[in-house]
Each structure stands twice: as C-alpha cells, then as structure tokens.
Homo-oligomer: A and B are copies of this chain.
Amino acid sequence: MPQTDDLSEDRGGPTVEDTVLGDLIGYRLKRAYMQIQPEAQRALAEDDLRVVSFSCLSIITDNAGIVQSELADALQMERSNLVVIIDELEQRGLVTRKKVPTDRRRYALTATLRGRRLRDRAAEKVRTAEDQIIGRLDDKDRAHLMAVLQRLEDNTR
C-alpha cells in the first residue's frame, strides 16, 4: 500500500470546505485552465511565442489571405490589440502583410513557409505538454470534454 508519511497537507492544501464554488462551471473551467495554461505558455516560450501570437499564427496558417479584422473576430479579441502582435510575427518573417488590391484598407495576412513550419512544431509541443497533464484522461473522456466545451461555447452565440 502506497501509504506515505505526509498528512492532509501533502497536495493542494488542507482540504478546505466548499459547498458552492466547486459546483459552478465557471470556477471549474477557470481552475482547469489555470493548470493547463502555464504549461502551454512554457512550451511556446521555447520558440519565443506567446499563447496569443501562436493562436494568430495558427489561424493565419490555416486561412491564407485572412485580414486582421476577421482574425480579431475569430479569436475574439480587439483588432487594435492585434496590431503589435502581427507586427512582431511579420518582423520575424513568420507572416506577410499584403495590401488587398480590391480594398486597399485591408491587409491580407499569409503565413510564410517558416511560419507554417513553426506553427506545426509549436503545436506539437503544446499538444505534448497538454498530454502530460491530461494523464489518465482516456480518449473517450477527452473527446467528450472537447465536444461539451464546444457546445458550451456555441450555446452563447
């Protein structure tokens, strides 16, 4: 029997009572996210990417020619906050900004070969990092989780 010497203090605090918070979905979502996020962040930092820049790079890779407003919309962020992120991706040679001839207000964003490769590599690392955490979560539970989260998200739109 794997009985150790440590008492209740061993992991995650001395079992605080909770009759309400833990039954709220928002709370559970936040807690789960707080465990995963730092690992994803660490994985992406190896390639000097933040979560948000990786997200942008990824969507741009999958949608060559997308413009900034559409990207902001897809990632549910303000287009003003996108500017510096695209600036950096562009300066690093990961994406290109090209004026759309038919509408010169817009910039078509396209990932370069380097950008696409970096996206794939970084995605692999994040996936691996997540798998570490998921641990004993089997494929069925994982699939169910993803489906339910997706449904949750869709319900609000």
> Which residues of A pack against B, CB within 8 Å?
11-14, 16-37, 40, 51, 55, 58-59, 61-63, 66, 70-71, 73-74, 76, 119, 123, 126-127, 130, 133-137, 141-142, 144-146, 148-157
A123 → B minimal CB distance (Å): 5
Total copies of the chain: 2
A104 → B minimal CB distance (Å): 21
Of B11, B14, B152, which one neighbours A35 at CB under 8 angstroms?
Answer: B152
Of B12, B141, B155, which one neighbours A136 at CB under 8 angstroms?
Answer: B155
- The majority secondary structure among interface residues of chain A is helix
Residue with the greatest number of chain B CB neighbours at <10 A, chosen from A26, A27, A70, A71: A26
